[in-house]
């Protein structure tokens, strides 16, 4: 089991899978979602469009995950997940965010992957406070990795501020 924090553009990482912080349509958007679609090329959008709809126009409910190839990315796979939109914290946001991390690990393990990189899901447009999101992410990952000891996890901050918050959560969780 290993979790490390890095600062990077996630689209450049040579890992088995990168996680996308998507929206329920899975048809792309801004932020990390837009960056992943640009780097993976148009086949990614076609693969997402081909996934079954759970309700009209929707392919991935909040907290759930879907997997596609990575196409032009160095990563072989993209695990798409939909984080919660932050309201005030009393609408199940922490539980839904934890589920994104747990379900991503379970799906990676089911595909026998060895390395996976996560962006800070929900910490951009979706407005989840970064410190709270980092604590949720670390707790969920540590628990999930108890069952998947050979998975290497990278928590990828896009800037040093986010990486410092993720590293602090990792250190805090380790020592307490």
| Binding region for ligand AR6 (CB under 6 A) | 9-11, 21-23, 29-33, 35, 83, 119-126, 156, 158, 162
CB neighbourhood size of 18 (10 A) = 29
The residue (of 104 and 122) whose beta carbon lies closer to ligand AR6 is 122
Q: 24: exposed, middle or buried (C-beta count within 10 Å: 0-12, 13-18, 19+)? A: middle
The residue (of 29 and 69) whose beta carbon lies closer to ligand AR6 is 29
| Shortest Å, Cβ 91 to ligand AR6 | 16
Cα-Cα-Cα-Cα dihedral sign, residues 135, 136, 142, 145: negative
CB neighbourhood size of 161 (10 A) = 11
CB neighbourhood size of 173 (10 A) = 16
So which residues are the catalytic ones?
Answer: 33
| Shortest Å, Cβ 97 to ligand AR6 | 9
| Shortest Å, Cβ 103 to ligand AR6 | 15
The residue (of 71 and 158) whose beta carbon lies closer to ligand AR6 is 158
């Amino acid at each position: 089991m290993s979790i490390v924090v890095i600062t990077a553009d996630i689209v450049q990482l040579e890992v088995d899978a990168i996680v996308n912080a998507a929206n329920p349509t899975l048809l792309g958007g801004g932020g990390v979602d837009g960056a992943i679609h640009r780097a993976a090329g148009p086949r990614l959008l076609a693969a997402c469009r081909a996934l079954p709809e759970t309700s009209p126009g929707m392919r991935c409910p909040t907290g759930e995950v879907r997997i596609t190839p990575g196409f032009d990315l160095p990563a072989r796979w993209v695990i798409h997940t939909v984080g919660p939109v932050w309201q005030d914290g009393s609408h199940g946001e922490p539980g839904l965010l934890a589920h994104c991390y747990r379900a991503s690990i379970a799906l990676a393990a089911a595909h026998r992957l060895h390395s996976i990189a996560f962006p800070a899901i929900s910490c951009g447009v979706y407005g989840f406070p970064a410190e709270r999101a980092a604590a949720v992410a670390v707790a969920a990952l540590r628990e999930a990795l108890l069952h998947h000891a050979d998975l290497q996890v990278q928590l990828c901050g896009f800037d040093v501020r986010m990486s410092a918050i993720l590293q602090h959560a990792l250190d805090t969780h380790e020592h307490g």
